[in-house]
Amino acid sequence: PLTEDSALRTKLHVYPPGLLKRLQTVFSWVDDDYDKIPVERAVLSDSSLPGTVLRLSMVYGPGDPLHRFFPVIKRVLDGRTRILFSQDMAAWRAPRGYVENVAAAIALAAVSERAAGRIYNVAEWPAFSELGWAQKIAAQMDWHGEFAVLPADRTPKHLLPGMRRNIGLRARSEYVTSSDIMSLCLSTKRSVAPSLGSVRIHQLRSTLTSLITLPKMRLSFSHCAITPIDRQHF
C-alpha cells in the first residue's frame, strides 16, 4: 500500500507524447511538461504559502470527461452476453473516488488550518479491481452475462491495458492507505481524518445508481475520449 510518506518516483515527465496529446484534447490545462510531483514540491517548499497537497484518486461520477466506466456500461446496454478482460486489466487495482466525495474532501482541507503543510491521500476503501468494478456495475444494471478473463496472448489487442499496448508496460496495481488518511470509506456513513474532522459521504450503491442512470446522451460516442480504434470495437 502507498501512504503519504511512500517514496515518489524519481523520474519526471514519464507520460508518452501520444498520451499527453490525447489528454490535452480533454483537459486544456495539461501541457507538454505535465507532472504532479514538481507542483507538490513547489507548494510545500514555500514557507510563506500555507499549502496542502491532496493526492486525488481517479475521480468518477457525473461530469467525468474520460467516462472511465463507459466500456462496461456500453457493452451491457448493447446486450452483450460476454465481456472480455485481459488478466492484467482484470486484476488491476487503482484508487478511485466518487466526485462528490472528493469535492467534500477538498472542501474539508480548504477550511482546516490544521491541513497546512500536510499531504493527504483521497481515495475510497476498499479499492476494487477493474473486474470487481465491472461486476458491481453489471449487478446494478441487472446484467447476468459472463466475464471472461484471458491471458495477454489470447486477448484482442484493443483490450490490453493502454500503457502495455502503447509502450510495452505491464499494468500495475496500486492502492493507498495512511495512518492519518482522508479516506472516503464507503463501508461507513462518514469519512474520518483524525487531524481534520469528518464529512458525510455517498455510499457505493448510490454512486453507481447515479452513474448508470445518467441521461443516455452521456454515453454517446461524441462525449467520450476514445480513439477511432476503440470505437470500432465497442
The answer to whether residue 47 is domain-embedded is no
232 has pLDDT over 50: no
Euclidean distance between CA atoms 140 and 193, whole angstroms: 30
The answer to whether residue 218 is domain-embedded is yes
Question: What proportion of the chain, given as a percentage, has pLDDT over 90?
Answer: 30
Domains of the chain: total: 1
Euclidean distance between CA atoms 92 and 171, whole angstroms: 6
The answer to whether residue 148 is domain-embedded is yes
CB 176: neighbour CB atoms within 10 A? Answer: 22
187 has pLDDT over 60: no
The answer to whether residue 220 is domain-embedded is yes
pLDDT score recorded for residue 152: 87
Euclidean distance between CA atoms 125 and 135, whole angstroms: 17
Q: Say if strands 146-150 and 82-86 run parallel, antiparallel, or are unpaired.
A: parallel
Q: Say if strands 190-193 and 197-200 run parallel, antiparallel, or are unpaired.
A: antiparallel
The helix/strand/coil state of 194 is coil
Contact 211, 141 (CB under 8 A): no
More confident residue, 53 or 167: 53
Euclidean distance between CA atoms 131 and 93, whole angstroms: 9
Mean pLDDT, rounded, of the chain: 76
Euclidean distance between CA atoms 101 and 177, whole angstroms: 17
More confident residue, 82 or 221: 82
Euclidean distance between CA atoms 153 and 88, whole angstroms: 11
Domain assignment of residue 73, given as a range: 55-231
Q: Which residues contact 195 (CB under 8 A, 6 or more apart)?
A: 112, 114, 115, 118, 180
Euclidean distance between CA atoms 122 and 96, whole angstroms: 8
The answer to whether residue 114 is domain-embedded is yes
Contact 146, 85 (CB under 8 A): no
The answer to whether residue 143 is domain-embedded is yes
- Give pLDDT tens digits for 74-111: 999 999 999 999 998 999 888 898 998 899 889 988 98
163 has pLDDT over 80: no
The answer to whether residue 37 is domain-embedded is no
The answer to whether residue 27 is domain-embedded is no
Q: Which pTM was predicted?
A: 0.73
Q: How confident is the model at residue 214 (pLDDT cuts 50, 70, 90)?
A: very low
| CA nearest to 96, candidates 179, 204, 8 | 204
